Every structure is written in C-alpha cells, then in structure tokens.
C-alpha cells in the first residue's frame, strides 16, 4: 500500500465552518462520536491544517465571519 497523499481543496467559507465544527468535535469525548481510533489522527490533522491557514480564526469579528460563511453555504430553500 502506498503512502501517497490526498489533497482536499476548500473555499475559505467551507474551511471556516468545518474548522468550527471540528473544534467542537474535538472538545467532546471523541470516543463517543468516532468509534474507530484510526480516524482520530486524520481528524486532528485536518483541524490542525485548517487552523494554521485561516487568519479568520483569530479575528475579533470571528463570530460574525463564521455566521456569514454559514449563511453563504446553506442551500436556499
């Protein structure tokens, strides 16, 4: 089996919303939500990668930016 890498591209809005969700997930008892410990490493890697590339995470208006991103990503009814 090869250890080749996979690249995932996200928009800033997608990354911001996903980062917030992953943060909440990591703050829970991960074992209750994700029953396979093999999945924990990729979850932490994805979260860490997003956290180091999004300056919005540390912006004073983070909550407003997050909500705006959510609104843009939600499908119209």
Give the H or E element holding residue 10. none
Give the H or E element holding residue 13. helix 12-27
Q: What is the pLDDT of residue 3?
A: 79
The verdict on pTM exceeding 0.85 is no
Contact 16, 56 (CB under 8 A): yes
Q: What is the pLDDT of residue 1?
A: 58
pLDDT, tens only, 13-71: 999 999 999 998 888 877 888 888 898 889 989 999 999 999 888 899 999 999 999 99
Domain chopping of the chain, boundaries: 12-73
Q: What is the pLDDT of residue 57?
A: 83
């Amino acid at each position: 089996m090869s250890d080749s890498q996979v690249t995932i591209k996200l928009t800033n809005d997608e990354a911001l919303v996903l980062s917030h969700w992953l943060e909440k997930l990591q703050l829970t008892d991960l074992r209750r939500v994700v029953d396979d410990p093999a999945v924990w490493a990729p979850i932490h890697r994805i979260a860490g990668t997003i956290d180091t590339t999004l300056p919005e995470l540390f912006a004073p208006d983070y909550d407003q930016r997050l909500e705006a991103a959510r609104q843009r990503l939600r499908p119209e009814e």
